[in-house]
Structures are given as structure tokens and as C-alpha cells.
Amino acid sequence: MSQERVITYIDGYNLYHGLLDAGLRSSRWLDLSHLGTSLLKSDQNLILTRYFTTRVKGRPEKARRQGAFIDALQARGAIEIDFGHFLSKQVKCRNCGSTWQKNEEKKTDVNIAVRLLDDAFDDRFDVAVVISGDSDLVPPIEAVRARFPEKRLLVAFPPKRHSSELRRVADAAFTISDRKIRASRLPPTVSASDGVTLTAPPGWLPAQSQ
């Protein structure tokens, strides 16, 4: 009996902030392919992990930590990364009238939608697992289910993230447990193909694992 082909589509910032809100800061050094595999049934095979994020700008230390994580993911292989961008806009306080610049992540939901539809049309998966709680992903999930009724679309909510709209349109939906998150941490150091050793940023793993 052949195994079902599975691709995971991971909304990076939705997952990251879910980990923070759930008190899982020491699980940010996360093996995303291992996490995806932990969500599968025995007759399923993870063929690709798609990770969607935006590179940090203007905050060198935060950008360095993110860069180390992205490099570690790529060193482990079997992952493709799509980058969005930040859009800066001016925000004004209604009470005091002061203004400041706020950065908003853009294109992640569009990138996920494009990849999801492309992969469905190219028949690259039997099951798609979308790891996000962002209801902006309802339209592409509905479109794939309408055009490809033989394929299944599952939603895995990060900790502390949920969307009743996503649950409604998916074939199934569930929340990723804290236990699966903790069991999917990367090792403290990861070796890149060029021999560079990538180390988990302080606080991204439990202290005893550093």
C-alpha cells in the first residue's frame, strides 16, 4: 500500500508568536521537518516542508538570531523557504496624538496561497498540512478543496493560535501540543555544508541543552 504524500506549509511568524504566547521560548530552535513528521499517520510520508517568513531588518541582534535559525533549517535539508517583506506605516495614538512607525509583515499569506495552489495543480501532495491560525488562508484552502476534492487539507494550529474560520473550511483541524513542540527541538549545534557550526541563540533552547 502506497503512502500518502504530505507537504507542510508553515506560517513562520504565526508559529513563532504562538510559541512565545505559550511560554515555549526555549523551543524556538525548532526542527520544522521533525515537527511536521510528528503530526503524520503511519501511512503518510512528509516529502517537503515549506517555511514562510520575513527577514528582520533594522535590529541587528534579532536579525542575527533569525539568520542562524534559517541557516540551521537549510543545513538540515528537505525544506524550502519563501520570504515576504515588512511594510512600515505610521501609527497615531488616539489619546496623546504621538506617532511612530510600525512594521507589518506582508506577503506571507499570499506566498502560502500561491505555493499551495501550485503544488495542488502539479499534483505534488495528497495531503497538505497548513500550520497557522491566520484566517487570511481560508480562500486558498477553499479553492484547493473545490478544485481538487481528492486532496485533503488539514490545519494544525500553533500553540495559542486558533481560527474557527480555518477549522470550518479544512478537512480537519487540531492544535499542536506543547509536547510535540518540545520533542522537535534542533540539537544545540548544527553543522552547515560549508563546515560552519551554527549554535542556538541564548534562550532558544533550555539552559541544560546549550
CA distance 17 to 22: 8
CA nearest to 4, candidates 121, 170, 118, 127: 127
Residue 192, domain extent: 4-209
Q: What is residue 79's predicted lDDT score, i.e. its pLDDT?
A: 97
pLDDT for res 207: 86
What's the domain count of the chain? 1
Tell me the sheet residues that pair with 46. 6
> Tens-digit pLDDT profile for the chain (210 aa)?
689 999 999 999 999 999 999 999 999 999 999 999 999 999 999 999 999 999 998 889 999 999 999 999 999 999 999 998 545 555 566 677 676 444 555 689 999 999 999 999 999 999 999 999 999 999 999 999 999 999 999 999 999 999 999 999 999 999 999 999 999 999 999 999 888 999 999 999 998 644
What is the strand order of the sheet 172-175 is part of?
A: 79-83, 44-53, 4-11, 127-131, 152-157, 172-175
Cβ-based neighbours of 206, under 8 Å, separated by 6 or more: 26
Cell of 43: 501511512
Q: How far, in Å, CA of 106 to CA of 5, rounded?
A: 29
* C-alpha–C-alpha distance, residues 127 and 1, integer Å: 16
Q: What is the pTM of this model?
A: 0.90
- Give dist(CA 115, CA 128) in Å, integer: 11
* Sequence-distant (≥ 6) Cβ neighbours of residue 140 within 8 angstroms: 112, 113, 116, 117
pLDDT of residue 36: 98
- The answer to whether 173 and 40 have CB atoms below 8 angstroms apart is no
Using CA atoms, how far apart are residues 114 and 107, in angstroms rounded to an integer? Answer: 10
Instruction: Supply the CATH number for residue 170's domain.
Output: 3.40.50.1010
Cα distance between residue 132 and residue 136, in whole Å:
10
